[in-house]
Structure 1
């Protein structure tokens, strides 16, 4: 990526490079995360760090998201509802541009990443019970595949590959890093050298 990644360039690449279908995942509980792209001329990627007081995934870097409620008409609605609850993003402030293939979580959920464009300079209202920090990473840096290191974990007789990365004081790993890498592989296929 020699030239700067602009928002228009990202949108064009995202829409012209449909994601490859995900492998079939056995029916599981459904969840969704919002992958918010901040609409700066050189876009950013909005992330959160979960509260250290949470029972599951405490202190981890994540996208806003959670389990689908029975009332949610779609997983898009789930992602937008969770983003509103966690960071104060109003649903009308997000323009959904598509989804990435669903991934399986270690807690038994099928998680669908919902990609959306959000305006810059919003005033965040983090839910203190769920969110410890909200930060933005330059999208061009986030999509640089070389920043992610693989780690193979053996669990239940199977090998699971997880991805690890640091951004400033934030440790980005696991499902979040995997979703960012998947987005990179979709919009920057010429960088798929790993």
Structure 2
């Protein structure tokens, strides 16, 4: 199967350049951004609803992925393995073709999260969900993550919209020493079914992938005023971990950070 022309920008991206100090100091994880072509030629991304039985991020909307294990040869293998374990997506590179691996993002608990972008060439694949980890699977158009206004069609009585908040929203949160970090979220149009918005790190990753794929920035301000680059934040995290290991006191560590800021911070409307 030939790849859609819109994916040429992703194929042309260079591999990420990672510092050995960063990868040896911080724990790593990989997530799979699995794209496929819809009936009208537009690109969709697979998203999952995490099980409510998990210890963290229960019920959140997420990308398949998880922490790198010692036997994983590289981060692409990590993302593929996790996608196979969670949703039954075959690791076969002919069926799930590698497009690019992006530079890592930094989670709030100092985890290096690397997005691995792939294209599903066979739309007849039937997902096999690991129900201990994933409750359901759905998809959204990738271009949705560049929009500030709702792309969803008018609703019907059987498919009511969530009108309690705008389609796209954000919070600017304190980055513990360096300005603020903007946290985005997007409605899924499935909130009436119990599906949570796409938010936080997952939203940031999809904004980045969509911007690179379509060659344009989002229609909203991506960063908080004064927000520093991710590579600077990663270096800060490396220093923070080194200080913690040495017993010295520096910036606030992950154990001092709130586990979930969403219930206590009001969004900007």
Shorter-chain TM band: 0.7 to 0.9
Residues 19, 103 of structure 1: alpha-carbon distance in 2 compared, 3 angstrom cutoff: farther
Task: State whether residues 88 and 126 of structure 1, in contact with CA within 8 Å, keep that contact through their aligned partners in structure 2.
Answer: yes
Structure with larger Rg: 2
Q: Hey, what's the Cα distance between the residues in 2 that align with 1:47 and 1:19? A: 25
Q: Hey, what's the Cα distance between the residues in 1 that align with 2:174 and 2:11? A: 36
Deviation per CA, 1:155-174, whole angstroms, max 9, x where unpaired? 53552211111011241000
The number of aligned residues is 186
Quote the residue 1:150 is aligned against: 170
Q: Hey, what's the Cα distance between the residues in 1 that align with 2:171 and 2:18? A: 21
Deviation per CA, 1:62-101, whole angstroms, max 9, x where unpaired? 1100000100000010000000000011101311111122
Task: State whether residues 107 and 201 of structure 2, in contact with CA within 8 Å, keep that contact through their aligned partners in structure 1.
Answer: yes
Task: State whether residues 145 and 191 of structure 1, in contact with CA within 8 Å, keep that contact through their aligned partners in structure 2.
Answer: no
Secondary structure in 2 matching 1:140: helix
Correspondences of 1:121-136 after superposition (within 5 Å): 121-136=124-139
TM-score by length of 2: 0.63
Secondary structure in 2 matching 1:146: coil
In terms of fraction of residues, the more strand-rich structure is 1
Q: Hey, what's the Cα distance between the residues in 2 that align with 1:123 and 1:20? A: 30
- How far 1:8 moved relative to its partner? 1.5
Quote the residue 2:141 is aligned against: 138
Q: Hey, what's the Cα distance between the residues in 1 that align with 2:177 and 2:209? A: 29
Residues 165, 8 of structure 1: alpha-carbon distance in 2 compared, 3 angstrom cutoff: same
Does 2:213 match 1:187?
yes
- How far 1:150 moved relative to its partner? 2.4
- How far 1:23 moved relative to its partner? 9.6
Residues 20, 146 of structure 1: alpha-carbon distance in 2 compared, 3 angstrom cutoff: farther
Runs of 4+ in structure 1 deviating by more than 6 angstroms, as ranges, are 19-25
Unaligned runs of 5+ in 1: 1-6
Q: Hey, what's the Cα distance between the residues in 1 that align with 2:71 and 2:18? A: 27
- How far 1:151 moved relative to its partner? 1.1
Larger relative contact order (CA 8 Å, sep ≥ 6): 1
Q: Hey, what's the Cα distance between the residues in 2 that align with 1:114 and 1:75? A: 8
